[in-house]
Structure 1
Amino acid sequence: MSREAAGAAIRALRESRDWSLADLAAATGVSTMGLSYLERGVRKPHKTTVQKVENGLGLPPGTYSRLLVAEDPIAELAQLGATPGAPQRVVRTPGAVVVNRHTDADVLEAHAEAHLESLNSLIARLPAETSNEYETYILSVIAQCVKAEMLAANSWRVAVNAGAESADRLMDHLQTLEHIRSTLLARMPGSISAGFDRACQRSGLPEAVIAALLGVTAEEMWDIRNKGLIPPGALPRLRAFVEAGS
């Protein structure tokens, strides 16, 4: 077949889960542009990109290669999604990929658990506080935690829409991830990120209101809280907000 047909099958699977390109980017670590290229088949994707997409979608390694040579990539996805003694996760219908959402939600929950285990493993290897890499390492783990939170939130949405029992467990994952993120920030008491995060929690104001007070977007709010990245011109208002919350 072709890269176009393989990419179209990947796109159909993504859309069947109600995921945007941004959702899949958060789950895989691949840029939305890279995902768009893959789905449209406009260029040969890098091996690492393919592996990340397969992992993010819960597909077996080598799936993309099989889609490239399959006469019907969507039917090939259906075959790969079937396991002995269990219903097919992806089934063929004319012109679309339909997901058995109960099974799909279970797969997504497994991915959320894997992310938690990975984060706990990273935290267990935190360098000493006196190390020059200490803060950089924590920020990198926080970045992974944020990605895991976004994936867990999307997985929770799929589970709720499916009426799956895993919805409550996925909400527990979300709360655990938020606790991990806050705890990691608290390990850097002198950082802008930690101070701003504490001020946000103490204020009790919705994030949208805080963002409006600071004159920043919701995305910029996340960058301030988790990366210490302050948009131009926002520093005086940020300092005032942190001082008011101290």
Structure 2
Amino acid sequence: MSREAAGAAIRTLREARDWSLADLAAATGVSIMGLSFLERGARKPHKGTVQKIENGLGLPPGTYARLVVAEDPDAEITQVLSAAPTESVRPRATSGIVVNRHTDTDVLEAHAEAHLDSLNSLIARLPAETSNEYETYIQSVIEQCVKAELLAANSWRVAVNAGAKSADRLMTHLESLEAIRTGLLARMPGSISARFDQACARSDLPESVIATLIGVDVEQLWDIRNRGAIPPGALPRVRAFLEAQP
């Protein structure tokens, strides 16, 4: 794992409680910017900062350090999530801490803009279409785009709850990210995931019905369309669905 992945895990734990950055700042006494740096893995956090965040989230001491070195991030995060409290009660601000929910949404909007810039930079470095790495590279960028969309969607929800003007701008960022994702899929029209995503978009059937036809749940259908992650055994039905489309 890495600081970036460990920070993403901390963000996952925070969002599991439906807390904003401002909520966590109120519970820990760590500034919103400091929390932002830690969640993005932008710099090595001070030991005292880590301890405050672990205390604020109700995590055992040393959790962050274990996340940084974990060989199996998914298993470690799952274990932490199952062991950590998940109540979504908003924490009270600590003495001397002033939380500004609108400032919080400004930070989230900055994150969305940074993701857009990063994705556009990656797209600018796409290998040649004749390269063996072309499709693999695009799939990797799509994966990052999907993660950025989920973060932007969560940020939009926080902004709406806070009554912040940035909600409209975050929706614009979200739409831009989706345009990037669909544009990347269009660059490899022969792939099953791209063809399946386009077939679902053209179909008059709702996603729940398509999921039943394929034999997956709606979340797995979303993964097939967005990440190309086809569950074992579902590939023949995905191909049959594609053949059935005009």
TM-score bracket for the superposition, by shorter chain length: 0.5 to 0.7
Runs of 5+ in structure 2 lacking a partner? 1-9, 22-34, 57-90
Residue 62 of structure 1: CA displacement? 4.3
Q: Which residue of 1 aligns with 2:178?
A: 178
In structure 1, the residue matched to 2:43 is 61
The answer to whether 1:114 aligns with 2:96 is no
Aligned residue runs from structure 1 range 77-96, under 5 A: 92-93=93-94
Distance in 1 (CA, whole Å) between partners of 2:49 and 2:188 is: 46
Q: 2:163 & 2:170 partners in 1: Cα distance?
A: 13
Normalised to the residue count of structure 1, the TM-score between the two structures is: 0.65
Judge conservation of contact 2:102–2:164 (CA < 8 Å) in 1: yes
Q: Scaled by the length of structure 2, what TM-score is found?
A: 0.65
Please list, as runs of the form range in 1=range in 2, the aligned pairs for 1:7-18 lying within 5 A after superposition. 14=14, 18=18
Instruction: Report the counterpart of residue 138 of structure 2 in structure 1.
Output: 138
Secondary structure (helix, strand or coil) at the match of 1:223 reads helix
1:160 to partner: Cα distance: 0.7
Contact 1:91–1:98, Cα closer than 8 Å, also in 2: no
Question: What's the CA shift string for 1:32-68, capped at 9, x where partnerless?
Answer: xxxxxxxxxxxxxxxxxxxxx8546469734452325
Task: Tell me the secondary structure at the aligned position of residue 93 of structure 2.
Answer: strand
Once the two structures are TM-superposed, the CA of residue 152 in structure 1 deviates from its matched residue by 0.3
- Give the 3-state SS of the residue equivalent to 1:92 in structure 2: coil
- Cα 1:91–1:124 shift into 2, 3 Å: farther
In the alignment, the residues of structure 1 paired with residue 192 and residue 113 of structure 2 have an alpha-carbon distance, to the nearest angstrom, of 30
Cα distance, 1:230 vs structure 2: 1.8
- Which residue is 1:190 aligned to? 190
Equivalent residues in 2 for 1:1-246, closer than 5 Å: 14=14, 18-19=18-19, 54-55=36-37, 57=39, 61-68=43-50, 92-93=93-94, 99-246=99-246
Give the C-alpha shift of residue 232 in structure 1. Answer: 2.4
Structure-1 residue corresponding to 2:84: none
Identity, % of aligned positions: 70
Question: Is the 2:149–2:177 Cα contact (8 Å) retained in structure 1?
Answer: yes
The size of the alignment, in residue pairs, is 187
Distance in structure 2 (CA, Å) of the matches to 1:69 and 1:215: 45
Give structure 1 stretches of 5+ with no counterpart. Answer: 1-9, 25-52, 75-89
Distance 1:62 1:228, change over 3 A: closer
Distance 1:130 1:60, change over 3 A: closer
- 1:148 is displaced (CA, Å) by 0.3
